[in-house]
A = this chain, B = another copy of it.
Amino acid sequence: MSSRSRVPRPAARRLSLYLRELKLRARDGSATISSRQLGEALGLTDAQVRKDLAHFGHFGQPGVGYRCVDLLERLRMIMGIDRAWPCVLVGAGNIGRALLSYRRFEEDGFEIKAVFDRSRDIVGTTIAGHKVRPIEDLARGVASLKAEIGIVAVPADAAPAVAAMLVDARIRGILNFTPCRLDVPAAICVRNVDFSVALEQLAFDVSLAAAQDDES
């Protein structure tokens, strides 16, 4: 495990992009992929790809590239996602419902074990096979399910209180779908999913493409 913590953060961030590309390729039936192909798909140089993957040992064969299945398996192991990650979901609104019907999570080892909400109208109803539980049961649920990840998909005003409850329940990571910045102890990992950021990046891409057209 110790080599993992010495990987530079940007390289670590790219690993899951490699993983995603490899999954697409494997699904398309590709047996191998070169560092050049991986780089092209992700907007990186092949030297960068080789350097990133070299942090974790050598898997590629010169002239052949990487075997997709092997590299996938290796990346999953390195990333610590070659095992199941039990999750709880807080918030059964539109985003929560979309996540519950998102089958890819389970394929990837992320199983939503329980769903919590504060609304009396929603608690007790069943969504995609999950009976929604009252938010008051969150701490007990996290403990009994040994959940490590909490997915926060509540309205922004409820986010700080939900985060505090998850911290108290000794969750280890939070996936935050609200626009709030969550104030949690440093030992708890937080990733924010912000749709505005994705749109801004896209708009920037379009602007760049237009600028390049103007130049050519």
Q: Which residues of A contact B (CB under 8 A)?
A: 1-2, 4-5, 7, 9-10, 12-13, 15-17, 19-20, 24, 43, 79-81, 85, 87, 93-95, 97-99, 101-102, 104-105, 108, 110, 148-149, 172-175, 179, 181, 187, 189-191, 193-215
Question: How would you classify the secondary structure of chain A's contact residues: helix, strand, loop or mixed?
Answer: helix
Q: Mind listing 26 A-B residue pairs with CB under 8 Å?
A: A1-B207, A2-B211, A5-B208, A10-B10, A12-B204, A16-B201, A19-B200, A79-B200, A79-B203, A85-B199, A85-B203, A94-B94, A95-B95, A99-B195, A102-B195, A104-B179, A105-B199, A110-B199, A172-B206, A172-B209, A173-B203, A173-B206, A174-B202, A175-B199, A191-B198, A191-B201
Bound complex: CA A13 to CA B43 (Å): 11
Bound complex: CA A191 to CA B210 (Å): 16
Contacts of A179 in B (CB 8 A): 104
User: Looking at the complex, which one of B102, B108, B195, B206 makes contact with A80 (CB distance below 8 Å)?
Assistant: B206
Residue from A17, A187, A207 whose CB has the most chain B CB atoms within 10 Å: A207
A81-B204 in contact (CB<8A) = yes
